[in-house]
Every structure is written in structure tokens, then in C-alpha cells.
Structure 1
Amino acid sequence: MTDKPRRNPKQARAQATVDAILAATFQLLEAEGATKLTTNRIAERAGVSIGTLYQYFEDRDDILAAMGERQAEAVRQKVTEIVLASPEQDSIRTIIQAIMSGIEGSPETRIVLMDALFKARGESVLSQHHIAFMSSISDRSELSFALGRESAFVLTHAVVCLLRASAAEPELELDPKALEDELVLLIESYLAGLAARSARMAG
């Protein structure tokens, strides 16, 4: 590892180098897993020198975190496009679909990237999903009650944490479509429960 400041990939050639490093890392994760992943192997697969790699990334974990951040950003962009393009549709389902499809790779790869992202950015990762969920349901006419901080926490964290658990337990062989249906049911049922509680308290 080097103490030199990392370069900001503003130019097209530099961005292409970063893209090659991230692509090589993904390929190695998919083929061999995280245990054999080293910066030397990444540099070799990407076709760059180890010195060039360290100009952009501090270490292996920094590369993994960058991959996780890139995929998280893709999820946020997809969620935004869905909500803006089709606000009248089932926003809960489309948000869940976007989150489920946002992290690429095998279950093992997804866990590695998610762990790296959580390690690098902490709770801000879940906060982004929180904002997406709140935006998607804010204009729903059936929500005649205000979501408290704790209720909003349950709504956003339940989905993300359950999806992480499903990736961490591939031996359960969960069907993605069936899991999607269950997550939609979970969130919609919880929203209905909140509405019913609010009505009882108002009465």
C-alpha cells in the first residue's frame, strides 16, 4: 500500500482504468471467491500495474467498497426512475424489485460487496433505502397517518436486512419471485396495521 494521495478519475483514460479494476475484481470474486482475492491478482486481471492500482485504491477493501457504492448508486437511480416514471403503479413492489436486482453476482459476491459497503459507509447505506421508501409511499392516498421514526425504521430496515439474510443463506434455496411476493405482503400488511392502529387511536 502507498501513502501517496489517490488520483481522482476525472479523465476518460483514468475512468477506464478504474472500470477495468472493478470489472476484474468482480470477475475474480465470481470465479474464485473472496479468499483468493488480492490486489496483485486484481491488477493482473485488469491489465494494469500494481502501482497503477494503488493510485486509485488504498487496498482490496477499498476496491470492494467502491464496487458496493457503485451498485448502491445504481439502485438509487433505478428507484428514482421508477417512482418518477410510474408513480401510479405499485410503488412498494417496484422498490423491492429494484433493491433485489440492484446487487449483481452470486450470493457470495453480493455478501462480500454488501459487507464492504456497510463497513465503508455504515448506516448511511440503509438511510438511502429509507429515503427511497419514504418517497415512494409519501403520496399514497391510503396513508392517512403520519409515519413515526420507529415505524419508518421498521419499513426500510426490514426489507434490506431480510434480503441480506437471504443472500447469506443460499442453502435455503429461496425462490426470488416468491420472496418478492412475501416482502410486498410484509410491507403492505405492516402499512395496513399502522393505518388500523392510527384509526383506533383517533376513535
Structure 2
Amino acid sequence: MRKQPRQQRSRALVQSLVEATGRVIEARGLEFATTNHIAESAGVDIASLYQYFENKEDLVEELLRHHASQMVAMATDYFKSINMFEASPSALLRGALSLGLGLARTNPVLLELAQHPKFFFSSQGIVQLENHLQTVATTYFMHHFRSYPMENLQTRLYIVSKSAFTLIARHLSEPHSMISDAELVDNMVLLYAPFFESGAVLKTEPLQRDDSAL
């Protein structure tokens, strides 16, 4: 963003441009959305748009930040509603995955952006969402450190978070996926839950070459 809006009028203008970006992407797709289309949809001239945003990429980043903030708020409400400290890791993981997939499925803009990894995975908004969920998980496992003692917790959370976001985005980007959302969640839980079981060992040393197998 070129400059931060400080007055109420300028903040309203920026918000209208972000909302217009979502409408145009939903209607035209990301590839065929332009700053001219966005300015027209927001009812402002193109010069006003360029006061705050350098290009379409800048607008998409702000849009993803907006959606990520909404998802953080919804996730926070969800974790409070289920009293997460009483849930098992598998149940907590299943709930978080189902919530994320459900929210994305009802959001045409996110479904479109998931098809463009360049924008989706480089977004600071998505990074902030990942960091928030990792923080929630850290709090959970620190609370249950006796039940789930493990080394390298942050490494485990990093691997699960990065791979889960990538897998979900790839799944959402497929118009005709070979598996349903429910099947994806079931198998992701089976895949990731053992990562946090007591006694699970995480390999952190460099792998040694086994010349005997050659």
C-alpha cells in the first residue's frame, strides 16, 4: 500500500476499493481483473485508487489480509465455543480443518485465489493466519505438556501448518477433486495426529547416505 489512510473518509475509500477488488475477482477471475475495473466498481477514479495502491497485486494482498483477519476472528470464536483445552489433538485438528475448508468453500474469492499460488502463498495475510493457528496450537500443547510431552514442537507445528495449507489450497483449486472435503479432512487427521502423540520421534539430524543400498 502506498500510504496508510488516516482520516475516516480515506479509510472508507480504501475499504470500498478492497471490497470492489473482491467483487471484480469473483465476476471476472483474477487474470482478467484490472485496476480500471476495480476503480469503476468502487465508483472512484483511477487516480484515487493509485493514491493508496500501486497495482492489482497490492489490492489482492490487502484483500487477502482482510479475509485472513476474518478467518482469525472466526477461528478464535470457534476455539472458545468448544473449550479447546478439553478436546483431544485429533478433535481439535479435525475442527480446525473442517472450519477452514467450510469457510473457503463459501467464499468464491478465496476459491479463485487458491488457484494462483503466486498470490496466495506469498500473502502476508495468509502468513499471519498460519502464525495465529500455530500460536493457538502452541498454547494448547503447552497446557497439556504432561499428556503430550514432545521435543521440537515448533518444528512439528511448522511442518503441519505449511503442508496443511498447501494441501487444502490445492484441493480447493481443483474443479473436480477425486476426494470429498470430508475424506480430505479424515485423512489429514490420520496423517497429522500421530505427529503429536506421546513418544513420536521427529528426525532433525541430517540423513546419512546409505552406500550399502547402491
- TM-score of the aligned structures, taking structure 1 as reference length: 0.77
Question: Which residue number corresponds to residue 155 of structure 2?
Answer: 150
2:77 corresponds to 1:72: no
One-letter code of the match for 2:16? A
Offset of residue 62 of structure 1 = 0.2
Is 1:100 paired with 2:101? Answer: yes
* Distance change (3 Å), C-alpha of 1:120 and 1:132: same
Distance 1:37 1:115 in 2: 16
Q: Is the 8 A contact 2:64 2:123 kept in 1?
A: no
Corresponding position of 1:135: 139
SS of structure 1 residue aligned to 2:121 = helix
Residue matched to 1:167: 172
Asked whether the 8 Å contact 1:25–1:42 carries over to 2, the reply is yes
Distance 1:139 1:185, change over 3 A: farther
Out of 39, 47, 51, which is 1:55 matched to? Answer: 51
Query: Match for 1:19 among 8, 15, 32?
Result: 15
Distance, in Å, in 2 between the alignment partners of 1:113 and 1:12 is 33
Partner Cα separation in structure 2 for residue 60 and residue 25 of structure 1: 9
TM-align CA RMSD: 2.9
Quote how far apart the aligned CAs of 1:8 are. Answer: 2.2
Which residue of structure 1 lines up, in the alignment, with residue 200 of structure 2? 197
Kindly provide the CA deviation profile for residues 22-56 of structure 1, in whole angstroms up to 9, marking residues without a partner as x.
22221221222122111001100111111111122
Point out where structure 2 has 5 or more consecutive residues left out of the alignment: 202-214
| Gap regions ≥5 residues in structure 1 | 199-203
C-alpha displacement of 1:64:
0.3
Q: In the alignment, which residue of structure 2 is the partner of 1:201?
A: none
Q: C-alpha distance in 2, partners of 1:69/1:117?
A: 11
How many equivalent pairs are there? 192
1:21 and 1:46 in contact (8 A); partners too: yes
Matched, 1:41 2:37: yes
> Deviation of residue 111 (structure 1)?
1.6
| TM-score of the superposed pair, with normalisation by structure 2 | 0.74
